Structure 1
Amino acid sequence: MGSAAVCEAPVTRSASACEDRRITRSKRALRQALIALLEERGFDSITVNDLCDRADLNRGTFYNHFRDKENLLAVFEDEVMADIAALQERMQRISLADMLAYRVAGTPLPLLVDLFDYLREQSDFLHAVLGPGGDARFAPRLREAVCENLVQNILHEKYRTNPTAFVDYYVAFYASAYLGIITRWIERGTLESSEDMARIAMRLFFIKPGESIEL
């Protein structure tokens, strides 16, 4: 009864805030339900009823916010991509010289630390979506938004403005490698710290064939 009294407050702003909290709780519950069900049975086998049962919500609440399960997944994926987009402006200011300077100093690049911090926060969702029961279309989006942008931004200007076929392959090679680093880290349960992962990412960019494989 206590919570009902709060929600029935006569002040419009209070009522609106209460409604906002209900919406947030409902979406959070559906997100957690989606993650659990993706891990258990895969997206193709999930129904709206499954999501509602797991989230302890009725179908009406689900359809107040989402058209179907595909829309639910897309909304949560887009939220992650929007957060990552906020880091892209900082990526555009990184140069190869910056990375090398931090590498020589033995200090992780702050942007990479922030990136891995965010990926850790989202690791449950990313593990489910990038896994065998998730969405095969999401990995290429993540590779393009994070890995390709990062690699392209540290190229010399002449390669960015007029890329050759070889440069395209170069970017694709390193972008796929960095996606592999992210995926492997998430699969392993994000055991390493964000600082260590930033150092690993920087080290792998500068490692040469035949060189000792040490951090």
Structure 2
Amino acid sequence: MDRRIARSRQVIMQAFIELLGEQEFERVTIQGIADRANVNRGTIYLHFTDKYDLLEQSVENYLMMLADSCVPENGPTNELSRDLLIRAFTYLKEHAATYNVLITNKGIPTFRHRMTQMIEANITLVVNQMTLETGIHKDILAQFLSVSITGLIEWWVIQSMPYTPEEMVEQVAKILEARLQLWDTK
């Protein structure tokens, strides 16, 4: 893609996210986005059919950027590692303003839903390679972990990231390693 086209798309998406941080999705207009991005309406329509298309493409774009931030330097892996999680939390912290809007905006649950799906797909790959001798069904474990991690990310962002990425990953590791007895198994 031509750098000017990519730059225009990024400026438009960033303006859109900024506006979502200030108002509900329904109140955001193409003209408002154009004004914020300092482009004309026609430029937006060259890249997106409407604000719903802009929302869909923004969600996909920011999810891909988050996913790309997790890829280790030596390429993709099917392992869920502390390093991978630290990369994800660090990226979220570095881009807190954008992801705070995407995760917490009540008018657009799309991002949270798609993030959960992305996490579940990756966790399913890891879980399917595991040998479970606990009687836990792999699909239930993958679902539980993906929803838990999404919820934890959401909580962390909403709480203004009270812990470092490393502390968050350490806590997740402790939770996963713990053999909690939450109820009587008799």
Same fold (TM over 0.5): yes
Residue 59 (structure 1) aligns with = 41
Residue 174 (structure 2) aligns with = 203
Q: Letter of the aligned partner of 1:20 in structure 2?
A: R
Please tell me whether the aligned partners of residues 91 and 153 of structure 1 are also in contact (alpha carbons under 8 angstroms).
no
Identity of aligned residues (%): 25
- Among 62, 83, 99, the alignment partner of 1:126 is 99
Please tell me whether the aligned partners of residues 123 and 142 of structure 2 are also in contact (alpha carbons under 8 angstroms).
no
The CA distance in 2 between the partners of 1:119 and 1:147, in whole Å, is: 18
Residue 55 (structure 2) aligns with = 73
1:153 aligns with 2:126: yes
1:49 aligns with 2:35: no
The CA distance in 2 between the partners of 1:41 and 1:81, in whole Å, is: 22
Please tell me whether the aligned partners of residues 129 and 138 of structure 1 are also in contact (alpha carbons under 8 angstroms).
yes
Q: Aligned in 2, Cα 1:55/1:85: closer, same or farther, shift over 3 Å?
A: closer
1:194 aligns with 2:183: no
- Unmatched 5+ residue regions in structure 1? 1-18, 100-108
Residue 105 (structure 1) aligns with = none
Asked which structure has the greater CA Rg, the reply is: 1
Which deviates more, 144-153 or 126-135? 144-153
Q: CA deviation at 1:37?
A: 1.7
Write out per-residue CA displacement over residues 66-92 of structure 1, whole angstroms, 9 at most, x where no aligned residue: 211112122222122323444477451
Q: Letter of the aligned partner of 1:57 in structure 2?
A: V
Please tell me whether the aligned partners of residues 127 and 187 of structure 1 are also in contact (alpha carbons under 8 angstroms).
yes
Please tell me whether the aligned partners of residues 48 and 68 of structure 1 are also in contact (alpha carbons under 8 angstroms).
yes
Relative to the length of structure 1, the TM-score reads 0.67
1:93 aligns with 2:66: no
CA RMSD of aligned residues (A): 3.0
Write out per-residue CA displacement over residues 160-209 of structure 1, whole angstroms, 9 at most, x where no aligned residue: xxxx9844333222221111111111112234222222212212222343
Give the secondary-structure state (helix, strand or coil) at the position aligned to 2:90: helix
The CA distance in 2 between the partners of 1:181 and 1:195, in whole Å, is: 14
Please tell me whether the aligned partners of residues 127 and 138 of structure 2 are also in contact (alpha carbons under 8 angstroms).
no
Give the secondary-structure state (helix, strand or coil) at the position aligned to 2:118: helix
Q: Which runs of 4+ in 1 moved over 6 A?
A: none
